[in-house]
Amino acid sequence: MFIDIPSELEAALINFPLPEWELDGPFLTETTVERYRSELAVAPQFVETTATLRHALTGEGGGYAVLRLGNLAKALGIDNGRFLRLATAFATDVATPFSPFPRWPLWKDIGVKVDKDPGKSSGIGYNAFHMDLVNASRPPDFTTLLCVRRDPLGGGPSILSDAHAAVARLSEDCRALLAESAYHYGTFFDLFGVGEEYKPFPILGSSDPDGGFVRFTAKMLSRSDLSRAHADAARRLAEELVQGQVSFMLQPGDYLMVNQRRFLHGREPLHSGQNTVPAADRRLLLQLFLRARGLATTRP
């Protein structure tokens, strides 16, 4: 699921001018999407590369991919606007980028805060398996993470697990409990483009084994008031997710894309000693959400 950029395409993209993106509410405008896609379509091997990317995300047996943009990041500067526009352009060939958080830009920083809840995305501990915006009626179809800096102390590998494969290994009684609207987690306010609050919700909401969200976050096990039976069913799912997980370390310029209808994601703990690392040198990711085509302009 790691996709290297052909050298011919890398060479072309280094000097490829793309305009600043424009937003229509939380979504990238259709004009921006079409311009990015049409302009890059002429770049050598761009169409073939993005076809491979889409297949890895949505084809049979797929659900995530890591686009290796490290050479472009080194050539352009990973904090350069041109590089971020190129990463955004790759995303537009998969789905429509948007920001559900009006107080944040299109790309949201996920840094490291040593005084934060260790289990949060910006914490230093184990970030257990979850889907983003689990309690929204229309969660993002894809969540993506662009690595700016890895943990300089060597911790924090990304973890992913095939949610539907994990569910398939559970008993029928367990799956029946997970299909009941008995689960809840988190707050819901000041959000765009993700529908309304879904509370309570079923973890399994679709009879299609490969088409529905598995609305799961391991944090609900300790931070939600669940019946013993429902908590036990969710705990069994968490165990199966860990059993089937894959793990890898993102490098600067690596762009991880996750199809939330198929895979859940998380992160192993960062290495101990984060308080000795200057804030400007700690692990940093940029997050971007994507909405599948045809759904992008639907408002809550």
Place of tokens 């889907």: 131
Look at residue 186 and tell me if it is in a domain.
yes
Q: What is the pLDDT of residues 171-196, one digit of tens each?
A: 999 999 999 999 999 889 999 999 99
Look at residue 298 and tell me if it is in a domain.
no
Please tell me the total count of domains within the chain: 1
Query: Is pLDDT at 298 greater than 70 in this prediction?
Result: no
Domain residues for the domain of 273 are: 2-291
Q: What is the pLDDT of residues 47-101, one digit of tens each?
A: 999 999 999 999 999 999 999 999 999 999 998 899 999 999 999 999 999 999 9
Residue 124 corresponds to which amino acid? I
Look at residue 296 and tell me if it is in a domain.
no
Look at residue 297 and tell me if it is in a domain.
no
Look at residue 136 and tell me if it is in a domain.
yes
Q: Of 72, 89, 80, 84, nearest to 12 (Cα)?
A: 72
Look at residue 182 and tell me if it is in a domain.
yes
Which CATH number goes with the domain that contains 74?
Answer: 3.60.130.10
Q: Please spell the DSSP secondary structure of 219-267, one letter per residue.
A: THHHHS---HHHHHHHHHHHHHHHHT-EEE---TTEEEEEETTTEEEEE
Look at residue 299 and tell me if it is in a domain.
no
Look at residue 242 and tell me if it is in a domain.
yes
The Cβ of residue 90 has, within 10 Å, a number of other Cβ atoms equal to: 23
pTM passes above 0.85: yes
Q: Of 159, 166, 163, 205, nearest to 182 (Cα)?
A: 205
Is the CA virtual torsion 277, 242, 121, 126 positive or negative? negative
Q: Under a CB-based contact definition with an 8 Å cutoff, are residues 133 and 193 in contact?
A: no
